[in-house]
């Protein structure tokens, strides 16, 4: 039940100090943790009347009341408490109330009949074995009375809390499919810039996006958010460091989603010829443990890159992107995705040095031809 308690920190992007908690709220916390839901509700009811649902303190009080009502089996009352927080100014509390309301109002799943064992009635059992129920009851010894129930502090219902948390995670996965695009750009030979953009299908930031930003943010990573769209942009780094960061981000994102994926194979080989760099890149991303979900789209974008540079792309082909010299490659869940390309990138510094060397050689050649013609070295006019 501790996992369902409301957070006491303000939501991202909210300002203002947290109101001091009254002592009655701490007593209600202890009553809820010990399983005394009636005492918890009796202590929270006057606090809810004194603090409106739009305040952060009122939101936390009503989330605690919803948790206590769930412990008593009153799902309708708990859902009503969650609906009263739709106008709460605290974004985190409002999101928690919305998630809990979706779980409470979710339709009940029908259990197949082969999942349970039906026991025959006493009459049917006696008819099968022979004899009347009264004779069997008389022959049967009187059972001993059950032991008295234990007296003491009730234990926390962890089973109910785990089921509620599992339902919350399931609703988040079903309603939180995202489109994840990883962009690789090559600003200079030997340098690589990576941008990961995730877009939620609900139009609001998902807990998975916030956890991924918290795990990968900081340092050279710039985090940008716009409602359900989040971008993690890395500065131009050496190719080896950039690919290591990309592999870590893919594994961390899969772990936060509860999916165990093998480590992706990302290699980039470069050969410098002074006037240009020959690049060869290979990607192998194993998504066979990931099931295809509606609304889930994983893709890579490469810029600048020509379609002629692609050597292999399976199982989906590479498509030409909207920009010039831009390619897009969509991954296939449940399959092993491989991509290989080879290209040549000119070096501006190397080309400039080559042009200067060519002009210098041409000037020396003209001077030598002048000497052979008998004109001598150029002189200043007398």
- Buried-exposed string 238-258: b where 16+ CB fall within 10 A, e elsewhere: ebeebbebbeebbeebbebbe
- Sign of the four-CA dihedral 121, 125, 126, 127: positive
pLDDT band, very low/low/confident/very high, at 10 (cuts 50, 70, 90): very low
DSSP strand pairing (191-200 vs 237-238): antiparallel
Which two three-digit tokens encode residue 38?
Answer: 């009636």
- Tokens 């509620």 sit on residue: 164
pLDDT at 362 over 80: yes
Of 49-63, 124-138, 165-179, 308-322, the range with the lowest mean pLDDT is: 165-179
Report the candidate in 50, 44, 14, 15 with the shortest Cα–Cα distance to residue 27: 44
Task: Name residue, tokens 């501006």.
Answer: 348
**Sequence-distant (≥ 6) Cβ neighbours of residue 205 within 8 angstroms:** 12, 225, 227, 228, 230
* Averaged pLDDT for residues 287-295: 76
pLDDT band at 37 (very low <50, low <70, confident <90, very high): confident
Closest CA to 346 of 271, 281, 278: 278
- Tell which residue, 23, 11, 66, has the closest CA to residue 47: 23
CA angle 179, 184, 188 (to 5 degrees): 160
Helix (H, G, I), strand (E, B) or coil at 330: strand
Q: What is the mean pLDDT of the chain?
A: 75
Q: What is the pLDDT of residue 142?
A: 64
pLDDT of residue 79: 85
**CA-to-CA distance for 104 and 167, rounded, in angstroms?**
9
* 255-272 confidence digits (pLDDT tens): 877 777 788 888 888 887
| φ/ψ (deg, to 5) at 193 | -120, 130
Q: What is the pLDDT of residue 176?
A: 46
Nearest-angstrom CA–CA distance, 134 and 283: 77
Percent of the chain with pLDDT over 90: 1
**Alpha carbons 270 and 239: distance in angstroms, whole number:** 9
Distances (CA, A) of 90 to 21, 168, 209, 231: 16, 20, 19, 24
Neighbouring C-beta atoms of residue 372, cutoff 10 Å: 8
Mean pLDDT of 121-130: 57
Q: Running DSSP on this structure, what letter comes out for residue 227?
A: T
- 78/102 Cα distance (integer angstroms): 11
51: Cα within 13 Å, side-chain hemisphere? 20
Q: What is the pLDDT of residue 174?
A: 40
| Residue 373 banded pLDDT, cuts 50, 70, 90 | confident
Rounded-to-5 percentages of helix, strand, coil across the chain = 40, 20, 35
Whether 360 has a pLDDT exceeding 80, the answer reads yes
pLDDT at 369: 84
How many CB atoms within 10 Å of residue 83? 16
How does strand 310-314 pair with strand 237-238?
unpaired
Closest C-alpha among 345, 322, 308 to residue 183:
322
| pLDDT at site 92 | 87
């Amino acid at each position: 039940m501790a996992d369902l308690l409301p957070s006491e920190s303000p939501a991202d992007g909210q300002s203002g100090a947290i109101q001091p908690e009254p002592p009655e709220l701490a007593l209600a916390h202890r009553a809820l943790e010990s399983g005394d839901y009636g005492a918890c509700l009796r202590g929270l009811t006057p606090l809810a009347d004194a603090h409106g649902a739009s305040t952060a303190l009122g939101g936390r009080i009503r989330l605690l009341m919803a948790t206590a009502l769930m412990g008593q089996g009153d799902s309708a009352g708990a859902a009503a408490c969650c609906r009263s927080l739709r106008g709460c100014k605290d974004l985190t509390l409002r999101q928690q109330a919305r998630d809990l309301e979706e779980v409470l109002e979710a339709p009940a799943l029908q259990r197949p009949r082969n999942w349970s064992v039906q026991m025959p009635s006493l009459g049917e059992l006696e008819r099968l074995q022979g004899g009347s129920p009264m004779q069997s009851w008389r022959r049967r010894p009187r059972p001993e009375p059950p032991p008295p129930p234990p007296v003491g502090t009730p234990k926390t219902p962890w089973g109910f809390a785990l089921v509620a948390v599992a339902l919350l995670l399931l609703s988040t996965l079903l309603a939180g499919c995202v489109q994840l695009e990883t962009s690789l750009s090559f600003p200079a030979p030997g340098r690589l810039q990576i941008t990961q953009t995730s877009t939620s299908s609900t139009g609001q930031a998902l807990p998975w996006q916030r956890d991924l930003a918290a795990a990968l943010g900081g340092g050279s990573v710039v985090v940008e958010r716009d409602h359900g769209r989040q971008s993690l942009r890395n500065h131009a780094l050496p190719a080896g460091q950039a690919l290591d960061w990309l592999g870590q981000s893919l594994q961390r994102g899969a772990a936060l989603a509860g999916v165990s994926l093998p480590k992706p194979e990302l290699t980039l080989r470069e050969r410098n010829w002074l006037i240009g760099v020959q690049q060869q890149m290979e990607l192998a991303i194993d998504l066979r443990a990931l099931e295809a979900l509606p609304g889930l789209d994983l893709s890579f974008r490469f810029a600048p890159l020509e379609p002629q540079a692609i050597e292999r792309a399976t199982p989906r082909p590479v498509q030409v992107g909207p920009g010039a010299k831009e390619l897009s490659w969509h991954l296939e869940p449940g399959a092993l995705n491989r991509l290989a390309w080879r290209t040549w990138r000119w070096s501006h510094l190397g080309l400039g040095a080559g042009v200067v060397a060519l002009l210098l050689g041409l000037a020396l050649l003209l001077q030598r031809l002048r000497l052979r013609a008998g004109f001598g070295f150029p002189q200043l006019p007398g």
